[in-house]
Every structure is written in structure tokens, then in C-alpha cells.
Amino acid sequence: MRSILVNIAAAIAVLLLGLLVSCGDDASPIAPENSPPAVPHRPEPADNADYVREYLSVSWESSDPDGDEVIYSVQVKENGDYVVYSGQTLLKTIDTGLFLLRDMMYTWRVVATDGLESSESPWWTFFTPEWSNEPPYRPSDPSPASEEFDVQTTGVHLTWSAGDPDQDDVLTYDVYFGTGIDPGLAASGLTETSHTLPPLDYDTVYFWRVVSTDSHGESTSGPVWSFSTRAQPGELLARLLKM
């Protein structure tokens, strides 16, 4: 009888050992813990800053301790009331294309997500100034240079420098050109700081000026410049022979 009990106990022990081994084979490895991305910080525009540009671009700092790819979701509110922009990027900067109203308070935040966990920045605030527009700078640096002489009569390109203190203003240009001290309009609405002239007369003084106009209709005129074209071929030699 005692031997039977011993055999039964041994059988039960073998069965339990088999179950333990079986369970150990099926056990899945423990997945490493995931850490959320760092809370976005160092905003630009900075919190409570004045922002003078017409279109909004924002940036921030963040990272992921696990090296995971992070998606950044950006929200912008006008006067803290309703969302006027929402977008996503893999970069830590985004050009929203949002046109900003003057004399307004905006708030914005960034949510960083690694696919498993998220980190939210606080709502940051910036302010746009009251409306004011500065006229364009005076056109300068003409080419041909003012009072230049012996200029070719064909293939002449008028060029100049221009700019505007308001960074987002788009400038257009009107070119006045002729043989009088008050030249007439030759081209309008140009978007490049250059203009190609038709063939010119020999041995002639030409006058020209440029008017720059910004996105808000304010204009600035450059001074009147002049240049002289070369003498007709053979004429200069004839003049020298008469001397």
C-alpha cells in the first residue's frame, strides 16, 4: 500500500514539473517600459512676447528619452477663445501660414506624442501690436550707375536695390524712363528689381527713377538717375580727326 502511495506522489510531481516547464516555454518576455516625450519648452515666440510679423511661425524644444519618433501637434487660439490653427509636424518648428490680426492676443501649445504616451506644453501667449505700416526704403544702388557714360545701346538692364522695414511686405516697382529730367512711366507692377530696356539711341542722355510700393499701398520714390550712351561707331573717330 505504501509503495502505491509513493508511486502516485511521484507521478503527481512529474505532472506538476511538466506543467511548470510548459508554462515557462509559453511565457512572453516582458516589454521594456516606455517613457513619454519631454514636455515641449523654450517656445518661440516666447511666452508673453510681442510678435510683429504678419504670418505666424513657431518653434520649441523637445526630445524623447527612448529615441522614439515624435509627432508634434500645434494649436493656436485667438484671444484664448477658439482654435484658429491646428497642424502636425515631425520637426520642432512649423510655419503655420496663419495671418495675424493686429492688436490681438494669441495663445498656443504643443502636444508631443511618441505613439504610446503624450506630453503637453502649457498654453503660451503672445501679442500682436496695433496696426502701423512703414513705407518702403528708398530705391538705391542703380545700375547703370548714375551719370555713367559710354553705356551700350542694346541689352541694357536697369537694376536697383530695394527693401521694406515691415518684413512680410511684398514690394512692386514702377520704372520711369526717358530723355527728359522728369521721365515718363515705362513699366509698372514689376516684382523683380530689374527691367530690360529696348534698344537705345547713340550719344544720348537718359534719365530714370524707381518707385517702390508695399502691400499696403505706401510708396517711396528713388532719386532721378542718368546715364549716357556711347557715340555711334565711326563718329568718335571722325570727331578725333577734326581735332
- Full DSSP string of 121-156: PPPEEEEPPPP--PPPPPPEEEESPTTEEEE-SSS-
DSSP character for 182?
S
Per-position b or e across 3-38, b if 16+ CB within 10 A of its CB: eeeeeeeeeeeeeeeeeeeeeeeeeeeeeeeeebbe
How far CA 29 is from CA of 3, 10, 16, 108, in Å, comes to 42, 32, 23, 42
The pTM assigned to this predicted structure is 0.53
Residue 141 above 90 pLDDT?
yes
Average pLDDT over residues 164-178: 93
At 172, which amino acid appears? T
**CB of 174 closer than 8 Å to CB of 210:** yes
CATH code for the domain defined by 41-127: 2.60.40.10
Residues in the chain: 243
User: Mapping DSSP to helix (H, G, I), strand (E, B) and coil, where does residue 32 land?
Assistant: coil
The highest-level CATH class for domain 140-233 is mainly beta
What is the reported pLDDT for 92? 96
Averaged pLDDT score across all residues of the chain: 88
- Give the pLDDT band of residue 241 (cuts 50, 70, 90): low
For residues 16-36, average pLDDT: 64
Q: Where are the domains of the chain?
A: 41-127, 140-233
The predicted pLDDT at position 81 comes to: 86
What's the Rg (C-alpha) of the chain?
37
Is the pLDDT score of 202 beyond 80? yes
Please write the tens of the pLDDT for every residue from 50-84.
998 889 999 999 999 999 999 999 999 998 888 99
